[in-house]
Amino acid sequence: MGRDGILIDGILIDIWRKPEPRLVFSSKWKAVRLVPETKAPYLVVPADKTQPVHAAPQAGKRLRRADAEALEYDNSLPPTFKWLLAGGGLSALALALVGVLPAALSPPAGPPRVFESLCFILLSLLGWWCIRVACFAKLQFPVLFDRKTRQVVFARPRWPRFSRPWELHRQPDRRTYRWESTEARLYYVQSSAHSEFGSVDYESYEFYLLWGDEQEPTLVREILLFRLGDGNQHLALAGWEHIRRFMEDSGAHGRPIENARPVATAG
């Protein structure tokens, strides 16, 4: 809803844009600045899982699998991430072989050549690490909502270690939390791109799932960027409503709701 309580494209909760109402972020999350403590949520999804958040639920294009017991969503990184890493890795290897190696091998040997040799080693390791991540690491990270066990299951990526060039990939770190303890927030993100022709502002929305500590439920223990809606607030809330109905309502099912109307894509 808007500031005057007017329904906006099916969204059933008010715009928040105030400090975080319930949760506290520890120094761990402040350090990585994944969700800064001072960043006000754009929308706060109610902790009460029986409260609807959107009038037109949609499964969304990220739904990979659905049955009577679980929904599985694709939370993979954008495809450009893989290609940028591969391109960066090949560029680093080419620079090491063509630009640095000949200088390191040319006589006379001495301290300058030692420096260039170190540059060659570091560039080679960096390029090979980028290629390992792009070509061998697991870049698909599903999020599972299990209605039978009342759990949310997802995986944290674990990249190949830089210091172990023989290590091609590592198994993702599996995390499991209770559905009842899951909190959701939508954050407004604005970025700018500058060029010789001027600057362009981009607006998007990031949907986060958060879980508190068992001893201190309000202290954030885990944060997951859930790419539901791919930056669109209406699609994110419509997708979350589909998940909420599946997990909470007795009549919900694991396929897209048949009578759902299209959700507006305006920001």
Using CB atoms within 10 A of its CB, is residue 164 exposed (0-12), middle (13-18) or buried (19+)? exposed
Give the closest residue to 246 by CA, choosing from 61, 73, 39.
73
User: Rounded to whole angstroms, what are the CA distances from 53 to 43, 241, 258?
Assistant: 10, 6, 18
Q: SS3 of 221, please? A: strand
Q: How far apart are CA 250 and CA 248, in angstroms?
A: 7
Residue 1 identity:
M
| DSSP H helical ranges for the chain | 27-32, 79-94, 101-105, 111-135, 233-248
pLDDT tens for the chain, 267 residues: list them: 444 444 457 899 989 988 889 888 877 666 555 665 557 899 999 999 999 999 989 988 899 888 888 999 998 877 777 778 888 888 888 888 877 777 666 766 555 577 777 888 888 888 888 888 887 777 778 899 999 999 999 988 777 787 788 887 777 788 999 999 999 999 988 776 666 666 677 788 999 999 988 888 888 888 999 999 888 999 999 999 999 999 987 544 444 433 333 333 233
Place of tokens 């761990």: 28
Which token pair is 84? 């940028």
Give the closest residue to 240 by CA, choosing from 196, 180, 167, 185.
185
